[in-house]
Structure 1
Amino acid sequence: MILIGHRGARKEAPENTLAGFQHLRQLGIHHVELDVRLSKDQQLVVLHDTTVNRTSDGKGNVLDFTATELQQMNATLPFPHWPQHSGIPLLADVLSEWPELKSIQLEVKTADNTILNTIAHGLAELVRRFKLQNKAIVTSSDQNLLAIMHRVAPAVRRGFVAERFTRDPLEVSLNHHCSHLVINHHRCTPGMIDTAHMLGLEVSTWTVNDINAARRLQNWGVDSIITDVPSLMLKHLHVEAQ
């Protein structure tokens, strides 16, 4: 089972920042999940929310700021005593600092199709530039994004992020030619994992911060867990960190 840092290591370091990803690397973990959004000047940046308010000293929608303006913000707000400034980074900068990267889940949030199309083309270009064909999985709960990615870059692997089961998540994953089912661990069952594996899907579960839950999922045969507390998981689990 692979251990994946959620937004870096969300409860241990500032999420979705260069500082947070450096913390993850220092643990010896080179598997990461992060969030991709679009800046005002059409650059791919790493941020979970639609606004910069929660994690940075800025205020407003991410789409109202250029990439340079986002980088100049201090995105360590949830860690008030963090020793150094770390802004909202360009995705390209995250990738350029991480030659040891083993796998990366690039989650794209719901947006209008114009934005999704721009993000899809940008992701395809970065996968090509950084030679991530065997490392990157573009994930989303937005089926429009999955369809756009399949059209724009069919060779780039995709994963369906499943939380609320309005439809069978396995069916959705297959319909969009996904390689991964990325599922809320509370919704995960041994039968679903077995069926996913029979269908050729890898199963990644989120967000797993409890050791007992992690052990249970590992015993059930999940391929990876996504966690906010990788240091804790490393102490108690037999996992593939590197």
Structure 2
Amino acid sequence: MLELSHVSRHFGGLVVLEDVNLAVPANTIFGLIGPNGAGKTTVVNIITGLLAPSSGQVLFEGVSLVGKQPHTITQGGIARTFQNIRVFKEMSLLDNVIVGMHAHLHYGPLGIFTRSKSFAAAERAAREKAYELLSWVRLAHKCDELAESLSYGEQRRLELARALATNPKLLLLDEPVAGMNSSEKEELMHEVRNIHARGFTIFMIEHDMRFVMGLCKEIAVLNFGRIICQGEPDHVRNDPQVIEAYLGREDDASTTSQGVAQ
């Protein structure tokens, strides 16, 4: 579904990504992990059009994404969440999700002004769909509350519902458990599994090894802008380069591999 081929990104003389190659198949949960500063968010920003690669190619279902604007990429079937929560706190949960549907609402300015039948029908359908998406993340009972009333973990789940409102084929999660406690992480893990079971392909970037190992079928590891390992969770967990990248030591594999696994 998604392929990065020889992707590099330089900021002046600073090399952030160097010759990154990834292939994300459809109907999977794929993880890109790495220590802080490894370049993970830069990968997502390139995929979603916020940054252009210095070199290389990004293909989504065989079509190049390089040079396309973020809204075009979203309309083409890729949605994302952000490391920093970006909900509209003074809007209801329902309205937060409806915002995500704007690209698919076609009643136009005249319909809004005249409150036409087509506008009323589209608005009703949008509200019903938003309520359904909130139920997927177990927030439907709070649909009319303001987003500012939610806990941190609930705001993360609201972001998931809003991303799903764009009707994506591929959902990108940018460090979804950043700032969460262990209980919130377990809840979000449950939501991600449920979303995947509904037929969505998920590509997440994260540095929480436990969270990724519990979800992903395949994992790639990024360190200093380069992919150092890729494979199934058990292979990645025991790779000496991964252990060294996370814990800074390679001479005590039995101790460090246990630490990475945790």
- State the TM-score, normalizing by the size of structure 1: 0.35
Structure with greater proportional helix content: 2
Greater RCO, CA 8 A, separation 6+: 2
**Structure showing greater Rg:** 2
- State the TM-score, normalizing by the size of structure 2: 0.33
